C-alpha cells in the first residue's frame, strides 16, 4: 500500500514538508479524504467508513491575507490561518470537513467554512458539552451518533460494529506506538529530538492509520538502533499548550541549550494518551473524547456534587498527569506556550504555574500569534529561563 521510497524519520520529514501529497494520491485512487479540526471529531468512525481522516492545520509561514473578511483579528490566529488557507484553496483535496465545538472559535470556524470554503461539500459540526457530567457523556454519544449517520449518508452504506471495532483497535495501536516512541525520549540525552518527534506526529495526522502505524514502527526501529549522542544539555523541558504544528518553536527552545523531552499539547501526547476502551461502541468513543482527553476546553468536574471544594485537590485532579510526565521524563522546567486569544488555555496558566511551583518545577509562559516571525522575540526570554535551570 505504501508507495514511498523513503522510510522512518526521512519519510516523516517528507510528509511533514508536504502534508497533502499522500492524501492527494489516495484521493486519485478513489479514497475519500475527510478533514477535521482539533481533537474532538472521532476519527475512528471516518476510518471505519473506509475514508481517510486528515487533521487540518494552519500554516505559520503563510501570512493571513484573506481571512479578514470572515474573521476578526482578536480570535485564535491558528484557526484564522485555517480559514485563510481554505479560502485560498489549499484544502482542495478534501471531500469533507468535520468540526466540533471544542471552543467558541473552533465552532465558528466550521460555520465559516460552510459559507466561504466551497471545496469540501460535506461538512459536519459536532457539539461537545462543556463538562464531563454523566448526562453530558450521554448527550455527546448522541452527537457522535448523528455524525455517524451523516457520514453513512456520504458513504452510502451503514457502519457495522465490526468495522468500528477494527478501526478503534487500529487507532489504539497507533496510540500505543506513539507512547512507545515517547518512551525513547526518557533517556538523557533523549534518543529523538522534539523537532523529529513533531514531524512524526504531524505525519500521523496526514496518513491513513495503517500507514501511520507502519511509519511509527519504522521510526521506532530506526531510533532504537541509533547510538545516543553523549552531549547532555542543561535542561529537560516539558512544553504545554494548545496546538503547535510547526517545528520552529521546538527549534527555538532547543537552540537555547535545552532538550524538550515531552509535551502536553494537542499535536503530541494529548492526542495519543487515551485509548478507546472495549466494547468499542459509541459510548466508549464519547468517554474517550469527552472525559479522557485532557484539554482545558472541558470542565473536568472531579469534585462534582461535593459541597466543599479544595483548591489543592482541584489542581491535583486537573494536572496530576503533568506531574507524572514530569517524573517519568525527568523534567526540570516547563514552558507554557499559547497562541494569543486562546481563552481556554489562558485561564489555566496561573493555576498550572501555581501547581508546578508546588512541585518545585520552574515554569515560563510565552504567547505568540502563530507566525514564525512572532517567535523571534521570545527567544531571549526562553534563554534566560533555561539559564536559570542550569
Q: Which residues bind other proteins (CB under 8 A)?
A: 68-76, 101, 103-105, 107-108, 111-112, 114-115, 124-127, 129-131, 133, 135-136, 138-139, 142, 146, 150, 296-297, 299, 301, 303, 305-311, 314, 338, 340-341, 343-344, 346-351, 353-354, 365, 367
Q: Which residue has the cell 522510510?
A: 7
Buried/exposed 11-43: b ≥16 CB within 10 Å, e otherwise = bbbbbbeebbebbeebbeeeebbbbbbbbbbbb
Rg of the chain over Cα atoms, rounded to whole angstroms, equals: 20
Nearer to other proteins, 180 or 299 (CB): 299
User: Most distant CA pair in the chain: distance in Å?
Assistant: 61
Work out whether the CA dihedral 242, 248, 250, 252 comes out positive or negative: negative
Nearer to other proteins, 294 or 297 (CB): 297
Distance of alpha carbon 349 from alpha carbon 153, whole angstroms: 42
On the CB side of 44, how many CA atoms lie within 13 Å of its CA? 32
Q: Is 56:97 a contact under the CB 8 Å cutoff?
A: yes
CB of 228 to other proteins, least distance (A): 38
* CA 72 to the chain's CA centroid: 24
CB of 281 to other proteins, least distance (A): 18
CB of 274 to other proteins, least distance (A): 21
Nearer to other proteins, 75 or 207 (CB): 75
Residues forming beta bridges with residue 262, ordered by sequence position: 238
CB of 17 to other proteins, least distance (A): 32
CB of 108 to other proteins, least distance (A): 5
Nearer to other proteins, 108 or 248 (CB): 108
Q: Is 295:273 a contact under the CB 8 Å cutoff?
A: no
Q: Which residues contact 33 (CB under 8 A, 6 or more apart)?
A: 23, 26, 27, 51, 52, 54, 93, 94, 95, 96
CB of 96 to other proteins, least distance (A): 14
Nearest to 368 by CA among 236, 263, 241: 241
Nearer to other proteins, 111 or 376 (CB): 111
CB of 116 to other proteins, least distance (A): 8
Nearer to other proteins, 41 or 212 (CB): 41
Nearer to other proteins, 206 or 287 (CB): 287
Amino acid at each position: 500500500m505504501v508507495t514511498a521510497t523513503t522510510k522512518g524519520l526521512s519519510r516523516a520529514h517528507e510528509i511533514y514538508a508536504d502534508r497533502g501529497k499522500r492524501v492527494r494520491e489516495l484521493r486519485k485512487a478513489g479514497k475519500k479524504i475527510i478533514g477535521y479540526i482539533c481533537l474532538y471529531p472521532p476519527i475512528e468512525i471516518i476510518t471505519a467508513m473506509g475514508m481517510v481522516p486528515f487533521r487540518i492545520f494552519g500554516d505559520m509561514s503563510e501570512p493571513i491575507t484573506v481571512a479578514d473578511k470572515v474573521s476578526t483579528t482578536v480570535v485564535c490566529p491558528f484557526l484564522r490561518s485555517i480559514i485563510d488557507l481554505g479560502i485560498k484553496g489549499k484544502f482542495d483535496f478534501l471531500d469533507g470537513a468535520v468540526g466540533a465545538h471544542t471552543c467558541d472559535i473552533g465552532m465558528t470556524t466550521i460555520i465559516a467554512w460552510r459559507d466561504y470554503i466551497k471545496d469540501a461539500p460535506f461538512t459536519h459540526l459536532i457539539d461537545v458539552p462543556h463538562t464531563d457530567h454523566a448526562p453530558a457523556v450521554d448527550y455527546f454519544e448522541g452527537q457522535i451518533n448523528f455524525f455517524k449517520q451523516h457520514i453513512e449518508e456520504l458513504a452510502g452504506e451503514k457502519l457495522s460494529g465490526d468495522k468500528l471495532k477494527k478501526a478503534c483497535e487500529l487507532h489504539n495501536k497507533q496510540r500505543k506506538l506513539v507512547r512507545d516512541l515517547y518512551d525513547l525520549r526518557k533517556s538523557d540525552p533523549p534518543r529523538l529530538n522534539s523537532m523529529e518527534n513533531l514531524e512524526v506526529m504531524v505525519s500521523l495526522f496526514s496518513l491513513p492509520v495503517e500507514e501511520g502505524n507502519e511509519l511509527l514502527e519504522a521510526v521506532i526501529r530506526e531510533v532504537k538502533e541509533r547510538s545516543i549522542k553523549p552531549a547532555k544539555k542543561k535542561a529537560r523541558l516539558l512544553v504545554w499548550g494548545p496546538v503547535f504544528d510547526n517545528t520552529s518553536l521546538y527549534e527555538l527552545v532547543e537552540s537555547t541549550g535545552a532538550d524538550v523531552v515531552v509535551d502536553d499539547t494537542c499535536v503530541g501526547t494529548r492526542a495519543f494518551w487515551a485509548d478507546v476502551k472495549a466494547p468499542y461502541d459509541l459510548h466508549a468513543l464519547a468517554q474517550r473524547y469527552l472525559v479522557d482527553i485532557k484539554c482545558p476546553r472541558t470542565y473536568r468536574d472531579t469534585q462534582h456534587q461535593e459541597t466543599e471544594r479544595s483548591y489543592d485537590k482541584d489542581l491535583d485532579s486537573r494536572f496530576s498527569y503533568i506531574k507524572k510526565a514530569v517524573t517519568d521524563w525527568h523534567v526540570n522546567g516547563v514552558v507554557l506556550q499559547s497562541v494569543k486569544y486562546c481563552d481556554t488555555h489562558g485561564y489555566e496558566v496561573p493555576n498550572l504555574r501555581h501547581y508546578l511551583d508546588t512541585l518545585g518545577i520552574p515554569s515560563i509562559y510565552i504567547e505568540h500569534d502563530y507566525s514564525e516571525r512572532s517567535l523571534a522575540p521570545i527567544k531571549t526570554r526562553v534563554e534566560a529561563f533555561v539559564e536559570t535551570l542550569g
